[in-house]
Amino acid sequence: MAKQRQWRQNARMAPASTLRRRFHILTLLLSLSLPLGCAAERDHSWTIDARRYAVAADHPDASAAGAEILAMGGNAVDAAVATSFALAVVRPESCGLGGGGFMLIHRKGMAPVGLDYREQAPAGIRRDLYRDANGNPDPMRIQRGGLSVGVPGTVRGLLHALEAYGSGRVTRAQIIAPAIRLANRALVVDAHLAESIESFREAAEKDPAIARRFRELRQALIDSDGRARTRVDRSSMAITLEAIADRGADGFCDGEIARNIVRAVRNDGGVMTREDLAAYRVREVTPLRGSYLGHDVIGMPPPSSGGAVILETLNILHALDDDRIRAAYDWDYIGNNRSSAPPGLSRYAVNLSDPESMWGLYAHLLIESMKPAFADRATLLGDASPNVAADVAGMLDPARAKRIAEGIDERHAAPWTRYDKGSLAAIDGGTSHLSVIDADGMAVACTESVNLLFGSRILAPDTGVILNDTMDDFALDTTTPNAFGLRQSERNIVRAGARPLSSMSPTIVLKDGDVRLVVGASGGPRIITSTLQTLLHVVVGDRRVNDAVAEPRLHQQWLPDIVYVQPTMRDGVRAKLTQRGHTLKERKDIGHVQAIERLADGSLRAACDPMKGGRPAGK
Ligand code: GLY
């Protein structure tokens, strides 16, 4: 161990990532033909250090809303709720009152709690509603429009969190006030929203039926000349937020706003009723717990698949041997002297006389550990499982992790068929994650979604509320591909009253009972892999969270049998993954992570994924 520590210490003296970053900056400067020294400053606004509290959300105004509430004496839950209401205004493409989510809460002296306010299938849903005139499944009916809308849970979820776990020192009206202020001024379109609007604009331009059908959304996002707006009017959302501030959940689930929402959904062929809205209940759930390298890892249970997949992967990594994983990590990310193998690898390395062969071993072992966990996600999890608790216990059984680890070959990628049980995993996009730590060490990890960008595309008139299309997180049947050409098992089949399987993975990591890391992401199934990789950078590599968030990521979800890598993934890793038999494909972004780390001296470091444009706030 002493030798191992020394190797890591030496390696840290000139971290490879620093050299790589310098190289990237140099390349950028050269490509822009700028004189060195003129633009050497990097934009660090996506990470901050704080002594007392911090909020990391994927929009600067949302982080600021949470920090404002903390400055008033609110706790982490008060701040998370304020942040989420603000996100409902400024990230309409990703989340909002028409969607749902999960919130994980840690407070010292209290068992961790999970809140499930995931959307739910309306009581009137039947599978045959998703069939066309010839009786064939019609995926378009579950992806967009009225039948794609699940009963939204966000408003009830946030208000439940506030009542049960808020500090009581800040009123509901004070917590919603920053969001109302944001809604009363035009929303300046940032890069992420612009890209999202552009994809809708292109779809509407190509197919005038889309423009007609979703005209409320079209008018909100696109001007009369067909140009994407650079400012979006969110003032009707202010009215909805005021109703919630005044009347609580009734302000949303009852009265004029509920009527407008239900009418908009039913006018587009949906079946949701006001009774569905009134009957919706938040579920308090016991989080899943596991441990890895001396840390407690807390995740959401089903209908999230994230907690189970992350914990199963960590169990397999542990079964592969902690020293081996640490050493392989150091080789790829930290070491600057690669002429000799780090001690932890000496028992395992492919070919010690050829240190180059160790490149990519960490990525390979990670991919091979994620593969079976994602296969389990696809085949075991879903609201229709006869015994979800037993399924999850099976996934997390250490003996099973050991058997899987024993079958992993460090030279070769396993074929996907090794884990084949006959069904495939889902993929999707319109989600937002926020992390909060307050001055008392209370922590919240919260992920919310409307599923695809702008959800169902139904904007309920006069409410500012965009309804989700989370029904597409269900499987229509086991053979019909979903929006992305993928299939899932019978256990996640669309069914009245059920909640669809989710990839949302709010995660809290504790060390000796205190919060060490709050992390989560947006990005469909890439939520799981990007959350996991950030956690591993901190726990295995002892890296700071800003480095962890900025490292290039990979994604493998069992099927399709492809490893997606970000373009900045180092060449050595790519080459060696290909050599081991993985099929690689570049993808611009792999999840958008928002995370906060508590350092040994009790101070905080927060980081928002530079790819989505968030900025943390804190003090
Ligand atoms: N709608 C994204 C997810 O829950 O996985």
How far is it, in rounded angstroms, from Cα 56 to Cα 545?
12
Banded pLDDT at 250 (limits 50, 70, 90) = very high
H/E element, 566: none
What tens digit of pLDDT does each residue of 189-198 get? 999 999 999 9
Q: Please, are residues 481 and 366 in contact by the beta-carbon 8 Å criterion?
A: no
What is the pLDDT, as a whole number, of residue 341? 58
Residue type, 196: S
CB 241 within 8 A of CB 235: no
Ligand 1 pocket: which of 144, 503, 557 to mutate (most atoms within 8 A of CB): 503
Catalytic residue among 83, 240, 431, 534: 431
SS3 329: helix
- Residue type (1 letter), 467: L
Give tens-digit pLDDT for 574-600: 999 999 999 999 999 899 999 999 999
**Residue 165 alpha carbon to ligand 1 centre in Å:** 25
* Contact of 486 with 424, CB cutoff 8 Å: yes
**Band of pLDDT at residue 430, cut at 50, 70 and 90:** confident
Pocket test for ligand 1, best of 116, 119, 470, 528 (most atoms within 8 A of CB): 470
120 neighbors 498 (Cβ within 8 angstroms): yes
Residues 346-362: pLDDT tens digits? 555 445 556 666 789 99
pLDDT value of residue 5: 45
Q: What are phi and psi of 283, to 5 degrees?
A: -105, 130
| Atom in ligand 1 nearest the alpha carbon of residue 450 | 1
Of all residues in the chain, the percent with pLDDT exceeding 70 is 86
Q: Does the structure show a pLDDT above 90 at 473?
A: yes
pLDDT of residue 2 exceeding 50, the answer is: no
Distance 518 CA to ligand 1 centre (A): 19
**Residue 345 confidence (pLDDT):** 61
* Tokens standing for residue 580: 């081991």
* Dist CA 55 CA 78 (whole Å): 11
Helices (H), 102-214: 139-143, 154-165, 172-183, 191-206, 208-213
Tell me how far the alpha carbon of residue 500 lies from the centroid of ligand 1, in angstroms: 9
Would you give the end-to-end CA distance of the chain in angstroms? 38
In the beta sheet, which residues pair with residue 285? 114
DSSP 418: G
pLDDT digits (tens, 9 = 90+) for 356-403: 667 899 999 999 999 999 999 988 999 888 899 999 999 999 999 999
Which residue bears the tokens 């160790």? Answer: 358
Lowest mean pLDDT segment, chosen from 143-147, 283-287, 473-477: 473-477
Model confidence, pTM: 0.91
Q: SS3 string of 602-619?
A: CCEEEEECCCCCCCCEEC
Pocket of ligand 1 (CB under 6 A): 428, 431, 449, 451, 470, 473, 502-504, 524
Query: Minimal CA–CA distance to 262: which of 159, 447, 123, 143?
Result: 123
Q: Which residues contact 12 (CB under 8 A, 6 or more apart)?
A: 334
pLDDT at 425 over 60: no
Q: Is the pLDDT of residue 474 over 60?
A: yes
Residue of minimum CA distance from atom 4 in ligand 1: 502
Identity of the amino acid at 256: E
Closest approach atom of ligand 1 to CA 468:
1
Mean pLDDT of 244-254: 97
Q: What percent of the chain has pLDDT over 90?
A: 78
Short-list 476, 483, 466, 473, CA closest to 451: 473
Alpha carbon of residue 381 to chain centroid: 18
What is the predicted pLDDT for the residue at 6? Answer: 46
CA of 451 to the centre of ligand 1 (A): 5
- Going 452 to 379 to 293 to 569, the CA torsion angle's sign is negative
- State the pLDDT at residue 24: 37
How many Å apart are CA 196 and CA 246, to the nearest integer?
A: 32
| Higher pLDDT, residue 572 or 484 | 572
What atom in ligand 1 is closest to the CA of residue 429? 2
47 flagged as catalytic = no
Using CA atoms, how far apart are residues 401 and 369, in angstroms rounded to an integer? 9
Query: CA-to-CA distance for 252 and 468, rounded, in angstroms?
Result: 15
Ordered strands of the 47-50 beta sheet = 47-50, 604-608, 592-598, 514-522, 507-511, 295-299, 288-292
| Partners of 193 in beta bridges | none
Region label for 205, one of left (φ > 0), alpha (ψ between -120 and 50) or beta (otherwise): alpha
Mean pLDDT of 29-50: 54
Please give the structure tokens belonging to residue 564. 């997606």
Instruction: For the chain, give the mean pLDDT.
Output: 89
